Amino acid sequence: MRDITHKQITLRSARATGIIFCSAETITTIKEDQLPKGNLFDVAKAAGFIGAKLTPQLLPHCHPVTIDGMDIRFEFLDQKLHSDHFPESVFSRSGIVIYGEAKSIGRTGIEMEMLTAVSVAALEIYDMLKPVDTALEIGHIKLLEKKGGKSDRKKFFATSPTCAVLVCSDSCAEGKREDRSGKLIQKMLEEAKAQVKYYKILPDNKDEIQQQIKMWVTEDIQFIFTTGGTGLGPRDNTVSAVREILERDADGITEAMRNFGQMRTPLAMMSRGVAGSIAHTLIVTLPGSSDGARESLEAILPAVFHARKMMKGGGH
């Protein structure tokens, strides 16, 4: 199974649908409640719920997810009601449309659970109708929509954000140690469709850090990510350097990073990172370790890019 420990815990949802085709006579029998096996839709809904809960046992690569809400409903196939979801050709036949939606707060999507629910509900209907209809057919099972995780990335920014990466390290500036965290940050930002316009290494010196950040703010670089100087060491000056020049705090960003990191290592509580804005530029201080920088970015990307719209007066 894929490692999903790096993913954020977010609200995720999915909608799916499908059709079980049957004869017009069978539709009449259902409406008159004359089926030999009794009530159709209550049993099919229960079967769909069970199918969703058992999805990880049926599909080997599916991670178990918490199903925080699910609904399944049934409608008789009608062109006026269902033309948005199915091709014109299906409306020459009669059948039952299965529609389901679900929500989950977790690290991975719930679309497979929803598709399984629709599929199992269709099979249950098939089983209950087979004594009265020999021409049953299941089809058009598909996902209508999924939200949460990667599928929501487009809403956080319309154009590629411009970024700068500032490595604050005495040893890297002196050439005694190779920078890894800054290069990792650059790679992750580019993978998130951001443009990294500047990458620079400076010693952990307050005046130099402040001067560089102010230059990038003047150029209207939208996001500045520093790495290093967030610990408790005597030369960890980055946090105080940045804090002094911030116009507005964005403590929620650092809370998200520390909370995400704390679930992976207790050492995350040692980070003194800060975040905030100057003019229309957001500055975020990241740890100097590559693991700490990676986990911190995993916690806030790509949602942090939405800050630009807010700083420009666009609201939430």
Angstrom distance (rounded) from CA 159 to CA 179: 29
Q: Give me 110's structure tokens.
A: 């719930």
Burial 229-251 (b: 16+ CB within 10 A, else e): bbbeeeebbbbebbeebbeeebe
Give the active site residue among 68, 127, 133, 152: 127
Per DSSP, the three-state class of 197 is strand
Instruction: Output the CA–CA distances (angstroms, integers) from residue 89 to 92, 236, 269, in the order listed.
Output: 6, 68, 60
Structure tokens at 233: 């060491």
127 is catalytic: yes
What is the Cα–Cα distance from 288 to 290, expressed in whole angstroms? 6
Question: Which two three-digit tokens encode residue 64?
Answer: 């178990």
Between CA 284 and CA 226 the distance in angstroms is 6
* Helix segments in 67-129, DSSP class H: 79-82, 111-129
How long, in residues, is the chain? 316
> Which of these, 164, 175, 276, 174, lies nearest to 227 by C-alpha position?
164
Q: How far is CA 185 from CA 5, 127, 188, 189, 253, in A?
A: 18, 54, 5, 6, 16
Tokens in use for 188? 């992750």
Catalytic residue numbers read 127
